[in-house]
Each structure stands twice: as structure tokens, then as C-alpha cells.
Amino acid sequence: MIVNQAEYGWDIIFQRAHAILAAQIAMYWKVETRPEPWTELIAAIADHDDGQRDWEGDNHLTDAGAPLNFMLQPPDIAQAKQMVDNARYRSRWIALLTSMHTTALYESWRGTDKKLDTFLDEQQNYQRKLARGLDVPIQQARDTYQLMYFSDALSLVLCKDQIPPDGLHLEVTPLPSGEMAKIYAVENNLFGLQPWPWEDEGVTLSVEVYHLNQLAFKNDQELYKALKTADVSVKKWCFRAS
């Protein structure tokens, strides 16, 4: 879950919804700079948070009983393994991109857990094996993956309400071209992104948000029940090329 505090309680965005937002970001990409294979790339982005072990055990609340933001949790190796395993049944390209995403997310944690280190080494070997099987240079695969990484990063900025006010620019992450992407607010829910990466001059992105009035919960099941009956709205961001 992506958790944002609100005046009435909490706004919750599920990670799978964040992944769909990331896929929206990629789907609008300029046609002439779209990497191949395009269909597999979009599928990998849209499904990159599959494999989550939703509502298993008690791992969705803080010690105070508040909904737990996934960014505060350590790497879930079991989820990552399942995500990569699921991807291989779609295609080798999707498996390659998904595996690259797990190592991109977790490499900074290397050295904190021997099992994680083993997993990261296994994934790097797996990526080289897949690239050889596809007859694709590993650097080409990494260049293709960069769009997935950017789309994921921009989606998180939007979901976490991190766009600064007053026209200040926030660096997101490099585009596949290597240029640093910067996002900024223009006015009245209108935003800009430089350099402009999309085909259309105007782009509207959206994600579903669950609204909770209750501040604390006894356990995961109580949170789950509250989410099932929570009000849901669609949050939108309108972008315009400058």
C-alpha cells in the first residue's frame, strides 16, 4: 500500500494500482522513441507489482496501528521470487524486465541479508541467461528497462503527492535518453514534465484512491474490512507540454 495522511484519516493507493498508473505513463510515450519489444514492456510495467502476499499475516500496520506504507518495509524476497516466477510464464522478455526491476529495487539493500544477496546474484545470472537466449545484448535490455524504471518512479512521485508547490522543479529519474526528467506544478491540477517524453501535447493520468476515516486498526483484518467498504475516488493529473 501507498499511504498518505489526509485531514479525515488516510488515503490508500494499492501497489497494483500504482503499477497501472506506471503503465499509463509509458503508453503515451513518443512513438519514434518507443523501445522494443513494446507490448512486452507495457505488460511488464502493468504487472510489476503482482506476486504480493496481500493480507497474509500481520504486515500492513505500524506498531501504532496505522496503515503501513510499503516504503517502510524491508525487501520481501518471497514476493520478489514469486513475481519473477510469474513473469516467466508470460514471456522471456517480461521475465527479463521483471527480474531487472527486482535487482534495481533491492540492490541498495545488499549486505543486510545473506538470503537477499543470494537472490540478487541469482537474478543477475538469470538476466544474462535470458538475454543470451533472446540474442539481445545485456546493455540493450537495460536501455529498454530504463523506461520501466522511469515510469515506476514517476508513478510513485504522483501517488505519494511529492510534486512541490509554486512551480518548483523536482527531479524524478533519468529518461531512457539519459536526460533528467523534472516535474513541476503549473496551476489548478495542471502539471509539466521536462523534457516532454509523450506523443501528445496533453496527457491525463489517473489512479484510484481509497479513503479511510479510521486512524488506527487492531489488525490486518480490521483494516481489510475497512478498505472493502471505503469510499473510492479517481485522482487525476493533467500534463501539458510547455
Please provide the average confidence, as pLDDT, over all residues in the chain. Answer: 93
Please enumerate in sequence order all residues whose Cβ is within 8 A of that of 106, keeping only pairs 6 or more positions apart, or say none.
Answer: 75, 80, 116, 119, 120
* Percent with pLDDT over 90 in the chain: 86
Q: Give CA–CA dist 13/6, Å, rounded.
A: 13
| For residues 189-216, average pLDDT | 97
Query: How many C-beta atoms surround the C-beta of residue 171 within 10 A?
Result: 11
| For residues 39-54, average pLDDT | 81
Give pLDDT tens digits for 98-113. Answer: 999 999 999 999 998 9
Q: Give CA–CA dist 202/17, Å, rounded.
A: 22
Virtual torsion, Cα 35, 38, 42, 47, nearest 10 deg: -100
Query: How many C-beta atoms surround the C-beta of residue 194 within 10 A?
Result: 14
pLDDT given at position 48:
76
56 pLDDT above the threshold of 60: no
* Percent with pLDDT over 70 in the chain: 96
C-alpha cell at 158: 504522483
Give pLDDT tens digits for 59-68. Answer: 789 989 999 9
53 pLDDT above the threshold of 60: no
| For residues 206-228, average pLDDT | 96
Q: Give CA–CA dist 61/219, Å, rounded.
A: 7
242 pLDDT above the threshold of 90: no
Sketch the domain layout of the chain as residue ranges: 2-240
pTM of the full structure: 0.94
Please enumerate in sequence order all residues whose Cβ is within 8 A of that of 240, keeping only pairs 6 or more positions apart, or say none.
Answer: 186, 190, 191, 192, 201, 202
C-alpha cell at 128: 544474462
pLDDT given at position 74:
79
pLDDT given at position 32:
97
75 pLDDT above the threshold of 90: no
pLDDT given at position 60:
87
Q: Look at 51 and 8; give whichever has higher pLDDT.
A: 8
Q: Give CA–CA dist 150/102, Å, rounded.
A: 14
Give pLDDT tens digits for 140-192. Answer: 999 999 999 999 999 999 999 999 999 999 999 999 999 999 999 998 889 99
